[in-house]
Amino acid sequence: MPVLSAPFRAAILAFGLAASSAMPVAAQSPEGLSLELNNATDVQGACRLTFAASNTTGTALSALSYEIVLYDPNGIVPEDGFLLFEFGAMPEAKTKVVQFLLENRRCNQISRILVNDAAQCSGDQGDLDFCLSALTVSSRNAIEFGL
């Protein structure tokens, strides 16, 4: 193994420190939240939506809720199409399955679900601002799910 002179080792160390402090901001921000529309099932005249929610932000969330907008099969937002889905506490590095029952609405009456805004996003330190910007969504269902 070659022996490096002290000035050369110092230059390598300085370059490594400069490169590590110049990391892009995105690499230092929270990894993310994900919501998967896993299932939509009609149950006694209502539509039950099942979501798998994951928190890999590096921060435990004490409360998480999103303003959701539903679209009908014609792409129209009905008068009662704005809803609040409360996911509750979301521990860090945990996936949680949550169900919402939409009374008086069958699943085939929903063509699209849009996450409109983060209504509540808080942790031990208070309100947080990344719950919408760090969110990714997906669907395993015929219902389109997006931001």
Q: What is the pTM of this model?
A: 0.77
Q: Which amino acid is at 30?
A: P
Rounded (to 5) percent helix, strand, coil in the chain: 15, 50, 35
Low-confidence ranges of the chain (pLDDT < 70): 1-30
pLDDT at 9: 44
Count the residues in the chain.
147
Domain 30-146 sits in CATH 2.20.200: no
pLDDT at 125: 85
Fill in the DSSP letter of residue 44: T
Q: Where are the domains of the chain?
A: 30-146
Task: Dig out the tokens for 47 from the structure.
Answer: 């539509």
pLDDT at 31: 84
Element (H, E) at 8: helix 6-21
